Amino acid sequence: MNRKLRVLKLWLLKLRFMLLRFWTPGIRRKTLRIGAVILGVCIIGGSSFSFIQNRPAFLLADGQQLALVAGKSQVNKALEMAREELTAELGAVILGTSSELSWRSKGKSTVQPLKDEELVSILKERLAWVTNTWAIQIDEEPVLSLASEGEAQEVLESLQTFYFPQDSTQLKIEKSEFQEEVKIVLVQGLTQQLKTKNEAIEILTKGREKKAEHLVKKGESLWTIARDHDLTVAELREMNSSLKGTYLQPGDLLSLKKIEPLVTVVSTATFTVEEKVPYKIVYESDASLWHGQERVKEAGTNGVRKVTYRITLANDLELGRQIVAKKTLRESKPQVVRQGAKMIVASRGGGGNGALSWPARGKITCAYGTKRGKGIHTGIDIDGNRGDPVFAAGKGTVISAGWKGSYGNCVDIDHGQGLSTRYAHLNEIDVSAGQNVSAQSVVGKVGSTGHSTGSHLHFEVRVNGQYTNPLRYLD
């Protein structure tokens, strides 16, 4: 600026000399006044430049106000400090910022300019900083960027072992390749786009959501479609909120959301693991126990073996596995279990016709027809300890097996010719609906589920749907 003023003054002196020499006094006075105006404009322009350089003003980035600064010189200094700090923090050379900086006059604002360290912090956070990044490119599409080529290479190497068991020892990769075309390329990008090594591995292994559609075919159901696309029925319904009911029509169009892997790693490797060898169970007949009862005579212990596998994976999908070598480290010991062989006495002198056998071995604690509140007892209660076996009173087919209100865990058996039996308040159920059972086969365990005051079996007999006294049919 000072150089420009010196040149201007020199030019005016020359002009004055010429006027004094050749022009009339009137012309000289007018010309000198014009020269004074030109000099004043130049001085104001110089003062304006000095104001931007050294006076407070509002700093804007891409049109957004950032802060009141002491002047342009403070901003230039803070920009350089922010660039150096980011280079040290990220391990990548910061080339500059792509944000467009501009100024706005402070006006009458009473806000104080930021201190240098505060301005540096804001510039680091708010500006778009440009750097050279190393992008992992899949099928010509840049997917993510890292600060260095070494980090990008480590990410790809980590993917080779990511899907193998983490507790394996002596892992040896025999072959590993990507199905897609994967490259590491140098590109310019923003620091905000940089990923850490762990973030990059998570993105590449988690995949991305892809929307798809499924055209319903004849014979398909929500369950089969969900199964074929590795979904639950609830998830499928959530994706198709307009669905009403459970029935589908051929031609219906369902929306699907699939997680599509960004990259597929096909790897073959050998690895060694220690595995548990389950013990076997050996049964011994014991006439002192009731049929259906069991007692452990000798506890079993699992064995341990070391196995070397060769396994081929496509990401986490196992394509093949074979045992290369195995070695027993500890033999398993079988568990010896005593099984009851004593049968329930056929008759208790009840005077029944013997069509059914007794379902439990305890005494009757509440008879059929006993008054209970506003009703009568519709069966008989047979005393028992929790876990005692409950037997089918005769051959038949299980009608239902599950929870049934005040009956608790309950089993109903159809014996044919209109005769059915019910076993209620069970602690466990050992049969399922539709299963055929033989007389004296175990259907469950004595318990106290539902509306019950203690462990017992509630046993009912129905003929053509009508309650009847069980003692008429028991031995």
CA 401/CA 414 separation, integer angstroms = 12
Question: How high is the pLDDT of residue 13?
Answer: 56
Q: What is the mean pLDDT of residues 445-468?
A: 93
Residue-averaged pLDDT of the chain: 84
The token duo for 60 is 């804007």
The CATH number of the domain holding residue 370 is 2.70.70.10
Rounded to 5 degrees, what angle do the CA atoms 351, 356, 362 make?
75
Average pLDDT, stretch 1-9? 53
Q: Is the pTM here over 0.85, yes or no?
A: no
pLDDT at 10 (0 to 100): 58
Amino acid at 125: E
Same-domain status, 284 and 333:
yes
Half-sphere CA count of 142, side-chain side, radius 13 A: 16
pLDDT of residue 303: 96
Q: What's the pLDDT score for residue 100? A: 93
Question: Are residue 454 and residue 357 in the same domain, yes or no?
Answer: yes
Q: Is the pLDDT reported for residue 473 higher than 80?
A: yes
User: Does some domain include residue 323?
Assistant: yes
Which pLDDT score, from 0 to 100, does residue 245 have? 74
pLDDT number for residue 33: 40
The answer to whether residue 261 scores a pLDDT higher than 70 is yes
Please, what is the angle between helix 72-90 and helix 116-126, to 10°? 60
Angle 293-294-295 from CA coordinates, rounded to 5°: 135
Mean pLDDT of 27-55: 41
Asked whether the beta carbons of 57 and 105 are under 8 A apart, the reply is: yes
Confidence of residue 215 (pLDDT cuts 50, 70, 90): very high
Whether residue 218 is contained in a domain is answered as yes
Residues 384 and 451 placed together within one structural domain of the fold? yes
Domain assignment present for residue 139? The answer is: no
Tell me how many domains the chain contains: 5
The amino acid occupying position 432 is S
Domain that holds residue 216: 208-260
**Is residue 430, in this structure, part of any structural domain at all?**
yes
What pLDDT, in 10s, does the model give residues 330-349? 999 999 999 888 765 544 55
Mean pLDDT lowest for which of 129-133, 197-201, 339-343, 399-403?
339-343
pLDDT at residue 327, as a whole number: 95
Same domain, 43 and 99: no
Query: pLDDT tens digit string along 62-121?
Result: 999 999 999 888 999 999 999 999 989 888 889 899 999 998 987 777 888 999 999 999
| Same domain, residue pair 46 and 63 | no
Residue entry with tokens 């007999």: 461
Cβ–Cβ under 8 Å, residues 336 and 282: yes
Q: Are residues 322 and 416 in the same domain?
A: no
The closest alpha carbon to 402, from 434, 380, 377, belongs to 434
Asked whether residue 182 is assigned to any structural domain, the reply reads no
Q: Which structure tokens are listed for 309?
A: 């596998």
pLDDT at 181 over 60: yes
pLDDT at 432: 95
Q: Express each pLDDT in 364-417 by its tens digit.
A: 999 998 887 778 899 999 999 999 999 999 999 999 999 999 999 999 999 999
Element (DSSP H or E) covering residue 88: helix 72-90
One domain for residues 367 and 465: yes
Residue of 206 and 123 predicted with greater confidence: 123
**Residue 11, pLDDT score:** 57
Task: Tell me, yes or no, whether 252 and 326 share the same domain.
Answer: no
Burial class (CB in 10 A: 0-12, 13-18, 19+), 240: middle
Q: Is residue 351 part of a domain?
A: yes
CATH number at residue 301: 2.20.230.10
Q: CA-CA distance, 421 to 413, in Å (whole number)? A: 5
Top mean pLDDT of 11-15, 45-49, 115-119, 349-353 is at 115-119
What residues have CB less than 8 Å from 10, skipping those under 6 apart? none
Beta strands in 88-203 (DSSP E): 94-97, 101-105, 129-138, 141-146, 169-178, 182-190
- Domain's final residue, options 127, 147, 165: 127
**Does residue 294 surpass a pLDDT of 60?**
yes
pLDDT grade for 39, boundaries at 50, 70 and 90: very low
Same-domain status, 359 and 411? yes
Q: Shortest CA distance to 153 belongs to which of 200, 90, 188?
A: 200
- The larger pLDDT score, comparing residue 125 to residue 36, is at 125
- Report the percent of the chain where pLDDT is more than 70: 85
Q: Is the residue at 201 inside a domain?
A: no
Q: Which residue among 282, 306, 340 closes a domain?
A: 340
Is the predicted pLDDT of residue 227 greater than 50, yes or no? yes
Confidence of residue 247 (pLDDT cuts 50, 70, 90): confident
Strand order in the sheet with 101-105: 64-69, 57-61, 101-105
Place of tokens 């439990």: 360
Res 238: pLDDT: 86
Whether residue 22 is predicted with pLDDT greater than 80 in this model: the reply is no
- Stretch 352-371: mean pLDDT, rounded? 85
292 or 418: which leads in pLDDT = 418
Is residue 202 in some structural domain?
no
Query: Same domain for 116 and 215?
Result: no
Give residue 283's pLDDT band: very low, low, confident or very high (50, 70, 90). Answer: very high
Q: Under DSSP, is residue 118 helix (H, G, I), strand (E, B) or coil?
A: helix
The reply to whether 38 and 62 lie within a common domain is: no
In this predicted structure, what is the pLDDT of residue 41?
33
Where a domain ends, among 127, 156, 178? 127
Same domain, 35 and 79: no
DSSP 256-318: EEEEE-S--EEEEEEEEEEEEEPPPEEEEEEEEEETT-EEEEE--B-EEEEEEEEEEEETTEE
